[in-house]
A = this chain, B = another copy of it.
């Protein structure tokens, strides 16, 4: 097991401080000051700041200082981040309930099988649940996990909720990142019933593949979000479009 690096620790500390609005006037201490306070060298601090800057969370102005970017820091649900449904819904203050819809074992639908790189007819666990904030259904989610990943015995109830914990405890798999397709769909009768909305309402539909730290797909999810309950935002950067000529030339010289 590896330790958390100083850079990562500092990054998360600063991230936490930013989200708690701990900086007067949104101005961070200077780099030398942070370095001394946090017990690190300036390059180490700068590495952490660079990560936060790429995130859009801070702005650095030469000769002036480093500042929190309020436009970004105030976003509650950034699309670039994966949340645990439980934790996300708990922030709403109401008790979180889960209605279990179905649980099956067998070859999944072709799209899922392909995304998970399953062998023909290979089995997977498919679990469907509705997450509720109080009595209001807000997310309908279908999760598919390759059966071969399950290395420990488990109780069925463990699949009646967020699957991330199950992946860690029963599969020894840690989700590192996901790639999500974001689609708009119109609720049909079935979905409208599950989310207690009117048929014909527009709904967010995510098709999401989760990967472990080896970049192997370990979970395929389909998620429907009740409208009005979520305010998904994404920070988008300009594609830089630098004019560099063909950079392959430089590497070709070395016979790459």
Residues of chain A whose beta carbon lies under 8 Å from any beta carbon of chain B = 4, 8-9, 12-14, 16-17, 20, 22-24, 29, 33, 36-38, 43, 47, 50-51, 54, 56, 59, 69, 71-72, 75, 79-83, 175-186, 200-205, 208-209, 211, 215, 227, 231-240, 242, 244, 247-248, 250-251, 253-254, 256
Contacts and interface: CB of A to CB of B under 8 A. Distances in A.
B177 A250 contact: no
A12 B242 contact: yes
A85 to B, nearest CB: 13
A38 B244 CA distance: 13
Given A9-B242, A17-B248, A202 B186 contact: yes
What's the number of copies of this chain in the assembled complex? Answer: 2
Contacts of A23: 256
Given A182-B182, A182-B233, A227-B184, A177 B17 contact: no
A235 B182 contact: no
Given A13-B244, A38-B250, A242-B4, A236 B29 contact: no
Nearest to A237: B177
Contacts of A253: 37
19 contacts: A4-B242, A12-B242, A13-B244, A17-B247, A29-B256, A37-B253, A54-B54, A80-B236, A80-B237, A81-B239, A82-B236, A82-B237, A83-B239, A177-B237, A182-B182, A183-B232, A186-B186, A186-B200, A234-B234
